[in-house]
Amino acid sequence: ALCIQDDPHVKVMMAGSTLRKVKSRSWKKQRHFRLLEDGMTIWYKSRWAGRGHSTFSITEVEAVREGHQSEVLLSIAEEFPADLCFTLVFHGRQGNLDLVAESTEEAQAWIQGVRKLIHKTQTMDEKERLDQWVWDWFNKADKNKDGKMNFKEVRKLLKMMNVEMNEEHALHLFTMADKSESGSLEIEQFVHFYKMLTQRDEVWKVFQDFSGDGEKLMLEELENFLRTEQQEGEQSAQHAQELTDRYEPSESAKKQGAMTFDGFQMYLCSQEGSIFKPEHRQLHQDMSQPLSHYFISSSHNTYLLENQLRGHSSLEAYIKALKRGCRCVEVDCWDGSDGEPVVYHGHTLTSKILFKDVISTLKEYAFKVSNFPVILSLENHCSVEQQTVMAQHLSQILGDTLLTTLVDGLIPQQLPSPQELKGKILLKAKKIGGLEVCLDETLTDEVSDEEEMANGECSDDPPKSKLSRELSDLVVYCKSVHFHGFEHARLHGKCYEMSSFSESKAKKLAKEAGTDFVQYNTKQMSRIYPSGLRTDSSNYNPQEMWNVGCQIVALNFQTAGLEMDLNDGLFRQNGCCGYVLKPDFMRDGSTQFSPEKPDGKQGYKPLRLSIQVMSGQQLPKVNQKEGSIVDPLVRVEIYGVPQDQAREETSHINNNGFNPVWNETLNFVIHTPELALVRFVVEDYDKASRNDFMGQFTLPFTCLQAGYRHIHLLSRDGTAIPPSSLFVNISISELT
């Protein structure tokens, strides 16, 4: 389907190569790999497996890493040089595929070839994407690989695709698509058949309402639609022209300045037609305010890939978190053998990794998806000797990347900004004394023992002997201190001092002293962590902590579910850079905002949100059992200040995951729109037990676009599942 078959690297992939698949030091087996004719599916088998084989699609691959960039490949580094090795990293939770080629040329062909194909899939437009999706299914179902399917096979395939249809209707369309009257469809004919089957009546109706002749939208008709339904105001005229240029497939319609139904549907299914404001996907917020004015995407127990009792500690977990935009990672350090500190969940059966390897990984991956600073939160259980080793590793491995001095040489009255700290890693840990000592040192080059003693004693730090001076010196803007109440912080708190709160402590403070907490967080940062009782690595609701302005609300990134959906949802805005500017009423030190009483806020203006849930498209199958068809329902959940917490759902539609139509309107009142998140969840209704999760999408209320919009659904672990979507009609108005 993709036209890059002439590329020399892709040609090598199509011819096929023998590669070693490596699972561990001892498990290394040869497999024959090749790229199938569709240019998208990679097929592989062992020589003696008979007909057995495996396949995966390029769309499942997130990235290719070159050389020894996985734990497994590192473990065989002496046996196989780096230029033969590479790793395919998959989206979501599927494990990596570590491979070794027989020659450098072959390794390069696969590395470059797969990268090109990934790039191609990422830059496909909606139409190509849908075509690809249908191709993938066709290839999966075409077991004997003859490139043809009769009606019986097509019927079976449609069932696999979650398409339930009227048999007579389907047979009629099948006959129409079978132009050669051969009784079977080739792939292009199947794509055509599929498109006839997925005709969207509700979109057609909207089109008819605005089209004068029922066949096309002239520019002014499209402009009228954008102004009245999509609520685009001023920009409508210019936007109508741009949309026609971008989405209209027919050249003759374009010449007339018109949009056909195909173009209209293409626009509605595109990113621009989606529910998320395109300009909020980009970096668009002021990044020059103090760090304490931002919510920061933060992970807890970053080293764990699974649960806390026996899970696997892995460098991969750091890579995954950083790639997801996380800007505060946690390192739990303990004394290791041979004087090398290790990272793992102390006193449990979790496996161990070397501290220095974690730091090297951090150096490599910290700034791949965002340039803004990374905070390294140190949970230090080491002896003074190994702390000094840690300090040496940090300085040597990170070099200039590690921030070790004040940005402007002055004792700060407020924290520096993400902008000023671009490309820097900040250490958050205990420190002997304050920044004043730091400054003295740079001036006098020497501190007497007495001074050190004095500083050590008057702070909350552990006795000085427990802390390595070298490590302490690397802490600048994120000094860990104990929390002694808001009053104490008002009088004595320094902007570079930060405290950690357990979820229950933070929850209690938020409830009892919300306004104090909001004020405290305008100047100092707070870090919230999950209760130690959550040994299954479950998460708490981060919204309650964001409501009082806590910046570092650390979650177990490895645990999928509602809480991570909220985290991904909040940080989806502002270019996914890991920093979101708090609303203005949470940045002013004398703010009177209380999440418990949103109507007391200056400029309080509640909004009415009305969501007409119209239809669903190609919803994912939850239960792969043959013959099972879903009964989908849509629930809209609002997260925000306590008064805004709400949920409403549609009724369920029996036996239709393919093109269910609900046409039900759900209404909400939002008191603090600046803090609200909207989550759309699709579930398979079950009368007897809990409903099954099918897909979701979460976004900040402020990023909602009004009008007719598609919501592109995500799987439980946050990866895209095209072409599954919801079609909704959204209106937002002031409450009168």
Cβ proximity to ligand NAG, 419 vs 612, nearer residue: 612
629 known member of a binding site: yes
Q: What is the nearest approach in angstroms of ligand NAG to the Cβ of residue 207?
A: 11
- Name which of 276, 121, 134 is nearest 196 in CA terms: 134
Q: What is the nearest approach in angstroms of ligand NAG to the Cβ of residue 203?
A: 10
Place of tokens 């006839």: 196
Contact at 8 Å (CB) between 699 and 726?
Answer: no
294 known member of a binding site: no
Rounded-to-integer distance, Cα 632 and Cα 655, Å: 8
Catalytic residues: 300, 345
Q: What is the nearest approach in angstroms of ligand NAG to the Cβ of residue 610?
A: 6
Rounded-to-integer distance, Cα 12 and Cα 14, Å: 5
Q: What is the bridge-based pairing of β-strands 216-218 and 258-260?
A: antiparallel
477 known member of a binding site: no
Kind plus residue range of the DSSP H or E element containing 681: strand 677-684
Task: For residue 407, give both structure tokens.
Answer: 């940005």
Cβ proximity to ligand NAG, 250 vs 612, nearer residue: 612
DSSP 306: S
Q: What is the nearest approach in angstroms of ligand NAG to the Cβ of residue 733?
A: 9
- Residue 354 to residues 162, 200, 205: CA-CA distances in angstroms? 47, 55, 61
DSSP states of 407-424: SSSS--SSPPPTTTTTT-
- Name which of 628, 674, 624, 653 is nearest 726 in CA terms: 653
Contact at 8 Å (CB) between 30 and 136?
Answer: no
Contact at 8 Å (CB) between 391 and 471?
Answer: yes
46 known member of a binding site: no
Residues in the chain: 736
Cβ proximity to ligand NAG, 442 vs 663, nearer residue: 663
Q: Which amino acid is at 409?
A: G
Contact at 8 Å (CB) between 305 and 344?
Answer: no
Task: For residue 19, give both structure tokens.
Answer: 């590669």
451 known member of a binding site: no
Q: What is the nearest approach in angstroms of ligand NAG to the Cβ of residue 662?
A: 9
Contact at 8 Å (CB) between 584 and 647?
Answer: no
Binding mask 674-713 for ligand NAG (x = CB under 6 A): ----------------------------------------
Q: What is the nearest approach in angstroms of ligand NAG to the Cβ of residue 209?
A: 8
The answer to whether residue 729 forms part of the interface with ligand NAG (CB under 6 A) is yes
Cβ proximity to ligand NAG, 577 vs 670, nearer residue: 670
Q: What is the nearest approach in angstroms of ligand NAG to the Cβ of residue 705?
A: 13
In Å, the largest CA–CA distance within the chain is 96
Residues 6+ positions from 506 with CB-CB distance below 8 Å: 526, 528, 544, 545, 548, 550
Task: For residue 288, give both structure tokens.
Answer: 């020059």
Binders of ligand NAG in range 272-311 (CB under 6 A) = none
Residues 6+ positions from 407 with CB-CB distance below 8 Å: 416, 420, 421
Cβ proximity to ligand NAG, 334 vs 708, nearer residue: 708
- Residue 619 to residues 129, 351, 477, 682, 696: CA-CA distances in angstroms? 16, 39, 48, 9, 11
Cβ proximity to ligand NAG, 384 vs 732, nearer residue: 732
Residue choice 202, 335, 648, 717 for contact with ligand NAG (CB under 6 A): 202
Rounded-to-integer distance, Cα 78 and Cα 727, Å: 54
684 known member of a binding site: yes
Burial of 262 (0-12, 13-18, 19+ CB in 10 A): middle
Q: What is the nearest approach in angstroms of ligand NAG to the Cβ of residue 681?
A: 22
Cβ proximity to ligand NAG, 502 vs 731, nearer residue: 731
Binding mask 601-630 for ligand NAG (x = CB under 6 A): -----------x------------------
Residue choice 442, 651, 663, 667 for contact with ligand NAG (CB under 6 A): 663
Q: What is the nearest approach in angstroms of ligand NAG to the Cβ of residue 731?
A: 4
- Name which of 673, 664, 537 is nearest 605 in CA terms: 673
254 known member of a binding site: no
DSSP 660: -
Number of residues that bind ligand NAG (CB under 6 A): 5
631 known member of a binding site: yes
* Phi, psi (degrees; rounded to nearest 5) at 195: -70, -35
Crossing angle for the helix pair 126-141 and 261-269, to the nearest 10 degrees: 80
Q: Which residues are annotated as a binding site for substrate?
A: 428, 430, 500, 527
Q: Which residues are annotated as a binding site for Ca(2+)?
A: 301, 330, 332, 379, 629, 631, 655, 684-686
Q: Which residues are annotated as a binding site?
A: 301, 330, 332, 379, 428, 430, 500, 527, 629, 631, 655, 684-686
Applying CB under 6 A, the residues found at the interface with ligand NAG are 202, 612, 663, 729, 731
